[in-house]
Amino acid sequence: MTEMKLEDLLAQPEETAKRDLADAAKVETGPDFKRAIDRADPAARKKLRKMAEIMRRSVKLSHSGHGPQAAKLAMRALEMDPESALANHVMGVALEELGRLSLALEFYEKSYRTDPNSPDIYQSLSMAAWKLDMLPAAEKFLRVFLQMLPGNPDGTINLAGILRDQGKYDDAIELLRTTIYSNPDHYDLWNALGTVLIEAGDPIRRRRFIRRACGSIRNLAGPGTISLTLSI
């Protein structure tokens, strides 16, 4: 795959996401360069440092809507080291920004096969798979991400959304409930919980759960520490 020219990659048709992820936590997918470089062996670390600035610029351009420029820089990094997990991850980010979702997934997969110990790649895999409506795969990858970074609020919100989209409402509610107990003032977690409860379509259960959750959180956080206004 890395022997392909950039123009060949960009010639692939753009795909419309099958799910718009409107309720997803807005995460900026991409590698944590410092963590990746620190984990590398000394020989690889030296090479990665030479590539890092190019890859950082590529990710920044991807997230600011400059996909073609980002892809050019990602290709430069791949030419320096076609097997680099970081470079493949960065190319995936650029291609995802350009709407080449299946192609982005291929680069993400190569990245995680090369470095399966990076939590960031599992998040990228999950978000791309979710857009492509590959829900069981998206769930699997995000569960690995949360095993590596337990309690991560954005990861929790997105896993709950994936579970909700599969109709696994009880699992989504329990996941959010547990995380809310540790983060009682996190607005986005409460918002995600409200979305799941509304889509679950059980108003009586919804009221009971909210009362129980609020009571438990107040006991943990202490009286007067939170004030919630919920429209049920």
Measured distance CA(125)–CA(130) in Å, rounded: 9
pLDDT digits (tens, 9 = 90+) for 154-183: 999 999 999 999 999 999 999 998 998 888
Spatial CA neighbour of 23 closest among 141, 190, 181, 167: 190
Task: Tell me what pLDDT residue 2 has.
Answer: 43
Task: Report which of 148, 129, 164, 132 is spatially closest to residue 23, judged by C-alpha positions.
Answer: 164
Residue 217 has pLDDT above 70, yes or no: no
Total count of residues recorded for the chain: 232
- Cα–Cα dist 149/164, whole Å: 21
Encoded tokens for 212: 């129980």
Helix (H, G, I), strand (E, B) or coil at 50: helix
pLDDT at 227: 44
End-to-end Cα, the chain, rounded Å: 51
**Nearest 5 degrees, angle CA 113-CA 58-CA 31?**
40
Which residues, including other chains, have CB under 8 Å from residue 215's CB and lie 6 or more apart?
A: none
Confidence of residue 123 (pLDDT cuts 50, 70, 90): very high
Tokens of 16: 């419309």
Asked whether this chain's domains 1-122 and 150-232 adopt the same fold, the reply is yes
Contact 227, 185 (CB under 8 A): no
- Is the pLDDT at 152 greater than 80? The verdict is yes
Residue 54: pLDDT above 90? yes
Sign of the alpha-carbon torsion through 178, 119, 42, 38: negative
Question: What value does the mean pLDDT take over residues 105-114?
Answer: 95
- Mean of the per-residue pLDDT values of the chain: 86
Confidence band (pLDDT; 50, 70, 90) for 11?
A: confident
pLDDT at 224: 47
Min mean pLDDT across 88-102, 140-154, 184-198 is at: 184-198
When the candidates are 3.40.50.280, 1.10.287.90, 3.30.499.10, 1.25.40.10, the CATH number that belongs to 1-122 is 1.25.40.10
- The correct answer on CATH 1.25.40 for the domain covering 150-232 is yes
Q: How far apart are CA 224 and CA 191, in angstroms?
A: 21
List the chain domain ranges: 1-122, 150-232
% residues pLDDT > 70 (the chain): 85
pTM of the model: 0.83
List Cα–Cα distances, 191 to 117, 134, 218, 228, in angstroms.
31, 24, 18, 11
Report yes or no: 68 and 98 within 8 Å, Cβ to Cβ. yes
